[in-house]
Amino acid sequence: MSQQAERDRLVEIRRDLHRHPEPAWREFYTTARIVEELERIGVDDVYVGPDAIAEDERMAVPDDDELDEWYEQAREAGADPETLAKLDGGYTGAVAVLERGEGPTVGLRVDIDGLLRAESTDDDHVPVADGFRSEHDGAMHACGHDAHATIGLGVLEAVKDSDFEGTLKVFFQPGEEMIAGGKSMAESDHLADVDYLLAAHVGLDHPTGEIVAGLDGFLAVSHFRAEFEGVPAHAGGEPNAGENAVQAMATAVQNLYAIPRHEDGATRVNAGQVGGGTATNIIPEEAYIEGEVRGETTELKDYMKERAQRVLESAAEMHGCEVDVTTNGEAPSAESDDELVGIVADVAGGTGGVENVVERDELGGSEDATYLMRAVQRNGGKAAYVGVGTDHPGGHHTATFDVDEESIPVGIDVLAGAIRDIASKRP
Binding site, annotated residues for Mn(2+): 143, 145, 177, 201, 397
Dump the DSSP string for 294-329: EESSHHHHHHHHHHHHHHHHHHHHHTT-EEEEEEEE
Report d(CA 362, CA 373) in Å as an integer: 16
Which amino acid type is present at position 332? P
Residue 209: DSSP 8-state: T
Q: Which residues pair with 209 in a beta bridge?
A: none
Dump the DSSP string for 233-281: -BTTT-GGG-B-HHHHHHHHHHHHTTSPPBTTB-EEEEEEEEEE-S-TT
Contact 372, 182 (CB under 8 A): yes
Report d(CA 100, CA 165) in Å as an integer: 5
Burial of 73 (0-12, 13-18, 19+ CB in 10 A): middle
Going through 349-414 in order, the beta strands assigned E by DSSP cover 356-362, 382-388
